[in-house]
Amino acid sequence: MIQLERQVDILARLIERSRAYFDLYKFIEGSDYRPQIIDQMNEYFWFFRFQGHILRYVLIVELGALFEKTNKSVCFQSVLERVKSRIHHVKHAELTQVLEGTHVVSSKVSTLRNKAFAHRDSRLDFDDAFKEAGITLNEIESLIEASKALADKLCDEFEVRPPAFTTVETIGDCKRLFRQLGSEV
């Protein structure tokens, strides 16, 4: 089995990537910037054609991995079970409570991951899986933030580098790219 410290690091890196994919998806598909960049996206249609889908896909798959329910996975539930004997019971109870607080939204992400992306449920159309999940971008962002809070505590406990969000840098790079393409973003 992978060392606990490495498992905590894996969780932290999943969260970093989830936030980066979220920021990119929101930039490309969200109402804040899309109206200003749509002409450039259409000009480079073959490049941007699947960007929104790709970013949404990888965001849901990576974020969903954090909330798997199997003991064989590196996910919050299994890592919390494995660290139980290595941390103070009060700290463990705190971490468990934070994880339980994510259940409503994480189950929506799991629905998408398992029915629309990872396993493609044959009973549901892709769009129907999104309707069934009923998740918003704000919920996804709050789940990422809660995941970071949980990972920060685990990282502190096991002396692992915590997840770092680079939203400002990511959006800055996106703006620079689209300015190079002629946008006034």
User: What are the residue boundaries of the structural domains of the chain, listed by start?
Assistant: 4-180
Q: Which string of DSSP letters, residue by residue, matches 87-113?
A: S-HHHHHHHHHHHHHTHHHHHHHHHHI
Residues 18-36: what's their mean pLDDT?
97
* pTM for this entry: 0.93
pLDDT per residue as tens digits for the range 46-63: 999 999 999 999 999 999
pLDDT of 115 over the 90 cut: no
CATH class entry, domain 4-180: mainly alpha
Place 145 in a pLDDT band, splitting at 50, 70 and 90: very high
For 38-50, what is each residue's pLDDT tens digit?
999 999 999 999 9
- Output the pLDDT for position 65: 95
- Percent of the chain exceeding pLDDT 70 equals 97
